[in-house]
Structure formats: C-alpha cells, structure tokens
Amino acid sequence: MVVVIAGVCLAAVAVVIAFSLRIGGDESDVVVDQSVPTVEPSHVCASGAVPVDGNTCGDEDAPVKIVEYSNYQCPWCGRFARETARDIEREYIATGKVQLEFRNVAAEGQASGLAAEAAECANEQGRFWAYHDMLYENQQNLSEGALKGFAGELGLDREAFDECLDSDKYIDVIRQQREEAAEAGIEGTPSFLVNGELVRGYLSFEDFRPIIERALAKAQEEEAEATPEASEPTPSTEEAPGP
C-alpha cells in the first residue's frame, strides 16, 4: 500500500509539488491510545530520554519501525520535523511503540548536502538528533558559517567539528543514502516507510496517527498468530485411590 499526501519536495530539490490526498484503509476501527506521557524537553530524541543510536531513535524492539527520507532544505520536511515529529516522539517513541530512523536525500553542491554532512559530523560527537533539530529550526540559513555556529551553540567540540566538515569525509555516505532512497522508490521528500508501507509527503500528526495505529494493530496481530497456543493439560493417568 502507498499512502500519498499533499506536500512534498522533489528529491534533493526544494521544489514543492502536490499530490492528491489518499489514505488507504478504514480508520473507523482504529483504537487510539489517548494517554500521552509527559517528556521534557519536547525534543524527545535529542533529550536522551529514549535510546538513540546515531540517526536511529527509539527502542530497537518497538513494533513499528519508521524510516524517514528527508532533506534539510525541503520546507515540508522542516514542517514535519517541527510539528508532526514532536508528537510522534512524545506519544509513540517515548512509549516504546515506534522507532524512527532518519535518512538523508540530499544533493552534493547544495546547502542540503553540506547540512547533511554537518549532521554526520555532529553524530561523531553523539549529537545527531540535537543537530538535526537545530537544522530544521534554522532552514533559512544553512551556510557553512551557520552550520559551524550551530555546533558551537550545542556545545560540540568546534575544532573537531570544523575539521570534520572541512574534510568532506561524509560525501560518500550522503551519496549512498541518496542512491538507496532511489532504489527504495523514493521520489520526493519527506517520504516514509512505516513497517514497509510507503507514505509520501507531509502529514499532520492527526493524519499520521491512524497510519501508525494500523501498523501497531497489524504487528500485534502478527505477534499473536506467531505465538503458539498453550497446550491443553494432559489428563492424569493415575488411578484414583480406592475407597
């Protein structure tokens, strides 16, 4: 199933194109857990409140895996990061229901490519998600000077960060991520794989929630089917004592 949503940037280029709204499935039978934990700061992945491994945030045993394909210059990606992702982090990642992996779809020679490299340099110092958030909160200025300044604001080792960024050591990594996105059929950003289901374009939390809930329900069904039923107790063959 492919979910197509209006609001997407062409892959590696900050050009907005529209898709018709089409969310598959009947949402009437989706039961949503309304309990939302309080986690501060609101940037759950950047706060250290949940397990983080580089560009992956959340419990590795989470039943729903979301792979996000994004671009730091794409305005719809920025809106998703600043709005929808906050609620997903708070309601689903903080509760162990979702794990999120971020993948770049960036172009070499453009600000998005340099920003993607900078995020990898921040990752060397264990601050990928904090830097990721900083980039999306400052999309209007992704110059090299600004990228180095963000590292200073986050308290990173500036000398190590600057040396990393100046060396272009992650150009091949960014190129590989872009090629892998193309192989996965990603044509625009943001795009998502939700337990393998392709979702294209920006979604509000209200639109993304039923997709996650369906994935959770399906994961629970599959787990129940894979769990063998408890065997019935074997009647005892011992004879009852006589009178």
At residue 197, the pLDDT reads 94
At residue 234, the pLDDT reads 55
pTM: 0.79
At residue 123, the pLDDT reads 97
At residue 108, the pLDDT reads 67
Give the list of residues 6+ apart from residue 136 with CB closer than 8 angstroms, or none: 72, 77, 78, 81, 82
At residue 167, the pLDDT reads 96
Q: pLDDT under 50 in the chain at which residues?
A: 12-41, 230-231
User: pLDDT tens across 47-85, in order?
Assistant: 988 999 999 999 999 999 999 999 999 999 999 999 999
Q: Is the peptide bond before 190 cis (omega within 30 degrees of 0)?
A: yes
Domains of the chain listed by start with CATH number = 2-14+41-218 (3.40.30.10)
At residue 217, the pLDDT reads 97
